[in-house]
Amino acid sequence: MVATTGELSASGVAERQEVVAAVPNRRRMIDPRSGRALEILGHAIEYLADQFVQEAAELSAADPRVEAIQILMALNRKIYFECPVKPTLAERLRALLWFRAS
């Protein structure tokens, strides 16, 4: 699940946003390893953002700390969207009924 900055392309983010738009408000089945990675990334993002706000006199997108936050956020989204979508109750019932009919 380790990604380099080369894997974090704008087209990949756009594709993920289209998938999210197609399936709104769906929970995901996050395994313990992905959950831990998301937790660590969340803490790192929060730490860098707090540090940036306290120390930066002027907000600038060219600041290396902003770039680091953006990279971490992209990695966070990548890990989250790799987790499978949890089936809805209707989908589970449909699968159960289909299984019994077979």
pLDDT in tens, 34-66: 999 999 999 999 999 998 888 876 777 788 888
Residue percentage of the chain with pLDDT more than 90: 40
**For residue 23, what pLDDT is reported?**
57
H-state helical runs in 6-88? 10-22, 32-55, 64-82
The answer on pLDDT for 9 being more than 60 is no
- Every domain of the chain and the residues it spans: 29-101
Res 71: pLDDT: 95
Q: Given phi > 0 = left and psi -120 to 50 = alpha, else beta, which region is 76?
A: alpha
Q: What is the pLDDT of residue 17?
A: 53
